[in-house]
Chain A
Amino acid sequence: MSPETDLRQPTAATFENAAPVLRLRDIEKVYQTKTIETVALNSVNLTVNRGEFVSIMGPSGCGKSTLLSLMGLLDEPTSGVIEVDGRAVTSYSDKELAGLRNLKIGFVFQSYHLINDLSVVDNVELPLLYRQGMGGGERRQRALAALDKVGLSARTGHFPGQLSGGQRQRVAIARALAGGPEIILADEPTGNLDSVMGEEIMDLLLALNREQGVTIVMVTHDMQQALKTQRVIRFFDGSQVS
């Protein structure tokens, strides 16, 4: 596969298909300790269609990140059903959920979460290490193609510590893209960047959504960035308010 290869499994044709790729039904998430019970999410019903770019806004502590963790199958809801591609994943095993995350979901975090002891290209290859039957050559080709898409072809051998914040976030986006996911979940991807770099990253995400039909769900505090997305969902105290 050349660096120009389309990394996504679904083609651009799916962009026009408005089928739900992710659906949350009556989701409730309660964190319980010995002395306190905290309701993080309450009766959340939310559908994300294929090819959409959705932003989630709300004050700190309103449950945005919890929602993203549930969407990313990193956490289990206390009650309710999560559907991916129309299939409820509530009863899936750890192995099945890990496989789904690997195949369908890419993550971008505010603090990048790059492994400092791995080079840029090794960081981008990380999701592909967990893909069954993929050889080292194909992994490297896919990682290089992803880095090319985010404009970091010249930095493949660098280490995260040698990059700027914007470049690190580009690496994180390349890592999310490398596996050809249907959905990218971005948790405040511009939160640690200055406005110029933040704009660059936002433009990159918008281009990925527009040109390649990648479904993106982004948590953000920035209203201007949220307004650039197709739909804004607001949360307050664990409940969806719009």
Chain B
Amino acid sequence: MFEHLLTLIWNRKRANALLMAELFLSFMVLFGLGSLVAVVTLAMRQPPGFAYADVWELRLTTNNDQTPQNPTLRRLLAQLRATPGVDDVSLAAFSTPFSGYIMSSNIRVEDKPLVSGAEVQADDHFASLLHLELLEGRWFDHRDDADKLPPIIINRELRQVLFGTGPALGQVVRSSHSSNLKEFNEGRVVGVTGSYRPGGDLGAPAPAVFVRQVLPDSAAGLTMFSHTLLVRVRPGSGAVLEEKLVRTVAAVTKTWSTSVISLPDSRAASLETALAPIWAGAAVCAFLLLNVALGLFGALWQAIGQRRAEIGLRRAVGATGPGISRQFVAETLVLTTLAVGPALLLAAQFPLLNAFGQPLAVYAVGMGVALVLVYGFAVLCALQPSWQAASIRPAAALREE
């Protein structure tokens, strides 16, 4: 029977071409979306490399304050650390976790090729506040004040790229925000952290370098439009503490304004933004699938209308009602297979050619999602028309022509 159905579908290839093209296209789009979902899911299942629960971000706007800001900041940090309910405070640069801002840097060791990574400016409290895992060496502290070379800390991924299995601690690393060799600054590696994903949940584990940020003792210092502080609070802290922090900022700084957002909220907002293209893709896929479903459904209805005599004939020569139903479902599945087969071959080229550098599992999930959805829709669309075909009375169908 399978050979018979293949013959029948092959001989009707012109009539089926458009439908097969739709199925092919749907498979490829679903494969793309499925793979993207797999990438996101895999990324989300990996730990970000820091603990963000009970961490708040204070965004301070200086409101054109032209006075030296370092003394104010120092007083503010001391006041905040002394506030009941606050465990620790860190002066962070703008590239805080989930902020969406990543400062990229070119890093190299000796004459080895440049490595692109994220640069995170962090003070001495950053690691303990975010519970960063230290694999080698130590975090920044007062011992770095006297070192001629600025200390730097690298994460596991950057260590692997720069040093492989060789020693990392004490090595001199040069980094720059440009690729101009003259602008490279030297630093000495004093520690290695575990994976740290500055992009948050959806960012892949990538090389990152931590650069020490200190508040100079001098009364001078930069006047900036804004500062960002990370505050670890006691679990269960809420609006009362938040209000207290805002009042403290106002009391110390006089003119600065404050906004507070918890890192879990920031993460949720960041996820929403990051997932927006996926939802848009899903909407396109849903529309495409709806089109395919309508196409399949319509084509089958039309086929059954046109093939009533054939159905009557098949019943006359020995087919049962359920047999007719199965035949129409099987025809749909064969048609789907003929369209999905080449699509599957094309999709298989992505892992074979290592396109986009994703693991095999990502493409396997993409293919699986596409296969299940395309076949599922095909069967769903075939069921009702097939039942209709099975209910055709053969005597009536044979007399109609």
Contacts and interface: CB of A to CB of B under 8 A. Distances in A.
A136 B310 contact: no
A74 B318 contact: no
Contact of A111 (B11, B393, B401): B401
Contact of A101 (B3, B8, B318, B322): B318
Interface string A171-215: 000010001000000000000000000000000000000000000
A69 B4 contact: no
A117 interface: yes
Given A129-B1, A129-B4, A74 B398 contact: yes
Contacts of A89: none
Interface in A67-111: 69, 72, 74-75, 94-95, 98-99, 101-103, 107, 109, 111
A94 B313 contact: no
Interface in B345-401: 393-395, 398-399, 401
Contacts of A179: 317-318
B319 interface: yes
Contacts of A69: 394-395, 398-399
A109 B398 contact: yes
Nearest to A75: B395
Given A75-B395, A111-B401, A101 B12 contact: no
Contacts of A117: 8, 11-12
Interface in B307-354: 309-310, 312-323
Nearest to B316: A107
A113 interface: yes
B401 A98 contact: no
A103 B318 CA distance: 8
A134 to B, nearest CB: 11
A215 to B, nearest CB: 17
A175 B399 CA distance: 18
Residue of A72, A98, A101, A109 most packed against chain B (CB within 10 A): A98
B59 to A, nearest CB: 70
B7 interface: yes
Nearest to A110: B401
Nearest to A65: B399
Contacts of A102: 317-318
A218 to B, nearest CB: 16
Nearest to A72: B316
A95 B393 CA distance: 15
Contacts of A74: 312, 315-316, 393-395, 398
A98 B324 CA distance: 12
B318 A130 contact: yes
Residue of A66, A103, A126 most packed against chain B (CB within 10 A): A126
B11 A126 contact: no
A122 B7 contact: yes
B396 to A, nearest CB: 8
Given A101-B316, A107-B316, A129-B1, A94 B11 contact: no
A98 B7 contact: no
Contacts of A19: none
A228 interface: no
Contacts of A115: 8, 310, 313
A130 B395 contact: no
B5 to A, nearest CB: 10
B310 A127 contact: no
A107 B317 contact: yes
Interface string B8-44: 1001100000000000000000000000000000000
B178 to A, nearest CB: 68
Contacts of A98: 315, 318-320, 323
A242 B40 CA distance: 82
Contact of B318 (A66, A75, A99, A122): A99
A118 interface: yes
A129 to B, nearest CB: 6
Contact of B393 (A75, A103, A131): A75
13 contacts: A72-B316, A74-B312, A74-B394, A74-B398, A94-B321, A98-B318, A101-B318, A113-B312, A113-B313, A118-B7, A125-B4, A130-B318, A130-B319
Interface of A: 65-66, 69, 72, 74-75, 94-95, 98-99, 101-103, 107, 109, 111, 113, 115, 117-118, 122, 125-127, 129-131, 136, 175, 179
Interface of B: 1, 3-4, 7-8, 11-12, 309-310, 312-323, 393-395, 398-399, 401
Pairs A-B, 10 closest by C-beta atoms: A102-B318, A130-B318, A69-B395, A127-B317, A75-B395, A117-B11, A74-B395, A98-B320, A74-B394, A113-B313
Given A98-B318, A117-B12, 19 more contacts: A66-B395, A69-B394, A74-B312, A74-B316, A74-B398, A98-B323, A99-B318, A101-B316, A101-B318, A111-B309, A113-B312, A113-B398, A113-B401, A115-B8, A117-B11, A125-B4, A126-B317, A131-B318, A175-B317
